[in-house]
Amino acid sequence: MRHAHTVAQVRAAEEELLSALPDGVLMQRAATGLAYAVIDLLGGAYGRRVVLLVGSGDNGADAMYAGALLARRGAKVEAVLLADRVHEAGLDAFRSAGGRIRGESSAQPFGESSHLRTQLAADVVVDGIVGIGGRPGLRPEAVAALAAYTRPGVDGRRPVVVAVDVPSGVDVDNGRLDGPHVRADLTVTFGTHKVAHLVDPAAEACGVVQLVDIGLALPEAAVTSLQAADVAALLPVPGPFDHKYTRGVVGVRAGSRQYPGAGALCVAGAVSGLAGMVRYRAVDNDEGVADTVRAQHPEAISGDGRVQAWVVGSGGGDRAEEALLEAVADGTPVVVDADALAHVVGSLGVAAILTPHAGELARMLDVARSEVDAHQLLFAREAAVRFGAVVVLKDRHTLTAHPDGRVRVTTTGVPWLATAGAGDVLAGLTGALLASGLDPFDAASVGSWVHGAAATLAADGGPLAAGRVALAIPEAVRRILGERGLTESTP
């Protein structure tokens, strides 16, 4: 599992480790990891052109110590100092290794014209402007330097941007973007992931994130991200004496005469094999819709009976509120999707998973969608508390928020997953996991992860439709469990 810690947690862990280490050791660990990440990226150091954008803090020092190592390996390294005072020991080490200070021999003041004197773009620009203690946004001189050194050179190539710890200018603890910021191709972070590495929109500015272990002892993190091994450990695997009822029965109230396809897609997610049985009714009780859905999915049965979880709302239209009230009256856990979300005004009184996209969550909270897009972590948490439910905010990096403040970030999936009906499949899949016995937080986060993995398989580098995502769920599960040797029965 990836753990994303806050700035305060990282600072406390650093202070504890610094008290037990000789002076400078922790910074050297970070700088060495950074330098070798750059070397790996470039396939070597000799003859490569590297520009360091150096601020006043430890982030700038990490960049200069890394630059010194690169210079000793034969790279041509220049530093652009963006502050009157920088880390003196780091600067001395950089100069001693043969690094150059850009503009040091010129009386010309720092500005746009001094940046443009270079004719060949660097191979790498290292962003050491602001570290995890910085505020969102960048000062004008940093913006000017960044624009000048990351533009293509006369050879037409744009340098690769490597951020030190986090891209400068992002909100580290909340994942917000507020003002100019660095957009990195690679972010090399130290000790642990930070929230901005996982939570959008800041996460998208991080590029690929590479973690360097520097020996920090850290507490539990509120923001995490499941990995394949975590999902394998959580997925419900039937035992030798299980049957369809012990594996869980999920009831689906989705689809209507107005939106029949939503019912079929929601059932497709539910019948993917993770629960023992699916009971289906159209939201408006239209038997024609029900017949169509059952024709596509003969595994789903009609008629009343006990269920361990309900999925309600996908394609519900005008009857979604009635279906929601009936499901909640049953007293079982419920997954609330699409049209039914408009009728959630407080706690439902049962264990619940709400699955809005940003527009739906904005309407539920009576805020602008642009606010939700910009402050995803904030509003996902706020909704979880307000409605007393696990909230799944669907986006590029889907957030699963628990009322106690825990958040799991889904990083699986592909852009092609932004297609009509994908949310219906996710609702059905999540309901199956909920019926199988997973608690709402696990069911929602595992469902989101498997949904993204299935989409990646189904897309195979190209476009896809929601129905293909559902068909790929069993193969995605087999691959996940296969890594743990859990796909074959034990004699």
Binding residues: 58-62, 127, 165, 168, 262, 315, 357, 394-398, 423-424
Q: Are 391 and 400 a contacting pair, CB within 8 Å?
A: yes
**CB distance 406 to 441 below 8 Å:** yes
Query: Residues comprising the binding site for K(+)?
Result: 59, 127, 168
- Rounded Cα–Cα distance for residues 23 and 115 (Å): 35
The helix/strand/coil state of 317 is helix
* Amino acid letter, 482: G
Instruction: Tell the burial category of 208 from Cβ atoms under 10 Å away from its Cβ (0-12, 13-18, 19+).
Output: exposed
Could you give the dihedral angle defined by the CA atoms of residues 385, 390, 391 and 392, in that order, rounded to the nearest 10 degrees? Answer: 160
- Count CB atoms within 10 A of the CB of residue 286: 18
Question: What secondary structure does DSSP assign to 21-54, as a single string?
Answer: S-TTHHHHHHHHHHHHHHHHHHT--TT-EEEEEE
DSSP 134: P
Numbered residues of the known binding site for AMP: 394-398, 423
CB atoms within 10 A of CB 19: 7
Binding residues for (6S)-NADPHX: 58-62, 165, 262, 315, 357, 424
Closest CA to 61 of 184, 190, 200, 235: 190
Give the distance from CA 143 to its chain's centroid: 27
- In what order do the strands lie in the sheet containing 249-253? 193-194, 2-5, 223-225, 407-410, 398-401, 390-393, 352-354, 334-336, 309-312, 249-253, 277-281
Residue 396 to residue 419: CA distance in whole angstroms: 12
Percentages helix, strand, coil for the chain (3-state, rounded to 5) are 40, 15, 40
How many whole angstroms separate alpha carbon 248 and alpha carbon 443?
13
- In the DSSP assignment, the letter for residue 258 is S
Cis peptide before 356 (omega within 30 of 0): no
Strand order in the sheet with 208-212: 100-101, 76-81, 49-54, 124-128, 160-164, 186-190, 208-212
Amino acid, single-letter form, for residue 58 = D
Comparing CA positions, the residue from 344, 379, 339, 337 lying closest to residue 358 is: 379
